[in-house]
Chains A and B, each alone.
Chain A
Amino acid sequence: MRIELKKFGTTLISRQAGKEALAAFQSVLARAKSDENLEIDFDGVITFSPSWGDEFLTPLLNQFGDRLVLSPSNNPSVKITVELLEKTQNKKFRQE
């Protein structure tokens, strides 16, 4: 299953918006098969921040572990956010 983050907005900044995005996504997530990967696509995202990422990506990482796969991104705000989330969680994201 591929998740295009731009569908949640191109400026993904606040904790509150991250929480809302994850809540809205639960019904789609419920349809994921138990062996299916969850691919996160950052294409089209202009600004990404640790607050939004912590509310959206961290719970998915804890729930899906290695089945959560991040697509590559050249966006510097995505790169630094992913690095910081890995440090705070003391876990690595699987990256394509």
Chain B
Amino acid sequence: MEEKLLTIAEAAEILGVSIDTLRRWDKSGKFVAIRKEGGTHRYYREKDLEIFASDLIKLSNDWVTDGLELPSTFYCINSSIFQARLIKMQDALMREGVPDTIMPLIVAVAGEIGNNSFDHNLGQWPDVPGIFFGYDIGKRQVVLADRGLGILVTLSRVRPKLKNHTEALKVAFTEIVSGRSPEDRGNGLKFVRQVVAENPISLFFRSGDGELRLKKDNNELYITRSQKDTRGCLAIIEF
């Protein structure tokens, strides 16, 4: 039996992006449409839509790089939308039977990282406000990203001597920043580090050209410099 093809309008509705965005993605090769023999209309297979939307790392990375439209399921334009979706994730984790010993910690870690993006960029987003927030409980993965100022710029307000992104990451994840005025910076990333060090959860965090890896049940901080300097922050939580 021939598989039913979706029209571009149906595909746009399912992904939560505009038809123009799908046309652009088709042209650029990011998400290529199907054309019937001799025809010019674009069609999509349902399965391809699922595969496209399930690659959270690629979607978030592309967005951090190009800032173009995101499938609406993953885009939280403000912190209220993020809070609502975080509670939805919490419900899903409970439904899937993720144990009470780590379930609240996964939600709290995602909450601290996502809220950091909003707290430190409010009124100062360089272009696109808001964050990418996606999760796949089957793959045991949560991905968050923003196109904000990044850790170095926001932390430099209280630590003006910071020289580069790797140094900024180290301070953000290890040093208690007190006397926070005028920046109401929390110590959420220290919480994230402690949670990961004591639990079967791992984290990859990138800001600028700094990359940090925290491995599960391990207190070590692995900080490296990447070849590319990217915008904002990207976090991948695995459990």
The answer to whether B187 and A88 touch across the interface, beta carbons within 8 angstroms, is: yes
Stretch of A22-30, A32-40, A48-56, A63-71 that contacts chain B = A48-56
Report the interface size class on chain B. 20 to 34
Q: Known contacts A48-B108, A54-B186; decide if A87 and B176 are in contact (CB<8 Å).
A: yes
Contacting residues of chain B (95-128) with chain A, CB-CB under 8 angstroms: 100-105, 107-108, 111-112, 115, 118-119
Question: How far does the Cβ of B76 sit from chain A's closest Cβ, in whole Å?
Answer: 12
The answer to whether B184 and A49 touch across the interface, beta carbons within 8 angstroms, is: no
How long is the Cα–Cα vector from A50 to B54 in the complex, in angstroms?
A: 30
The answer to whether A80 and B176 touch across the interface, beta carbons within 8 angstroms, is: no
How long is the Cα–Cα vector from A54 to B108 in the complex, in angstroms?
A: 14
The answer to the question of A77 belonging to the interface, with a C-beta cut-off of 8 Å to chain B, is yes
The answer to whether B107 and A15 touch across the interface, beta carbons within 8 angstroms, is: no
Question: How far does the Cβ of A19 sit from chain B's closest Cβ, in whole Å?
Answer: 10
The answer to whether B194 and A84 touch across the interface, beta carbons within 8 angstroms, is: yes
Stretch of B56-64, B82-90, B213-221 that contacts chain A = B82-90
| Interface size in chain A (residues, C-beta < 8 A) | 22
Contacts of A77 in B (CB 8 A): 104-105, 107-108
Residue in B79, B86, B186, B195 whose CB lies within 8 Å of A80: B195
0/1 per residue, A9-20, Cβ < 8 Å to B?
Answer: 001011111000
Contacts of B40 in A (CB 8 A): none
Q: Known contacts A16-B79, A76-B102, A87-B176; decide if A47 and B115 are in contact (CB<8 Å).
A: no
The answer to whether B188 and A49 touch across the interface, beta carbons within 8 angstroms, is: yes
The answer to the question of B191 belonging to the interface, with a C-beta cut-off of 8 Å to chain A, is yes
Question: How far does the Cβ of A89 sit from chain B's closest Cβ, in whole Å?
Answer: 9
The answer to the question of A95 belonging to the interface, with a C-beta cut-off of 8 Å to chain B, is no
The answer to the question of A62 belonging to the interface, with a C-beta cut-off of 8 Å to chain B, is no
The answer to the question of B190 belonging to the interface, with a C-beta cut-off of 8 Å to chain A, is yes
Residue in A17, A47, A51, A87 whose CB lies within 8 Å of B104: A47
Residue in B86, B104, B176 whose CB lies within 8 Å of A75: B104
The answer to whether B90 and A51 touch across the interface, beta carbons within 8 angstroms, is: no
A residues with CB within 8 A of B: 11, 13-17, 46-51, 54, 75-77, 80-81, 83-84, 87-88
For this complex, 26 residue pairs linking A to B, each with C-beta atoms less than 8 Å apart, are A11-B90, A11-B111, A13-B115, A15-B186, A16-B79, A46-B104, A47-B90, A47-B111, A48-B108, A49-B112, A49-B115, A49-B188, A51-B112, A75-B100, A76-B199, A80-B108, A80-B191, A80-B194, A80-B198, A81-B191, A84-B187, A84-B194, A87-B176, A88-B176, A88-B178, A88-B187
Which 3 A-B pairs rank lowest in CB-CB distance, beginning with the nearest? A13-B111, A77-B104, A47-B107
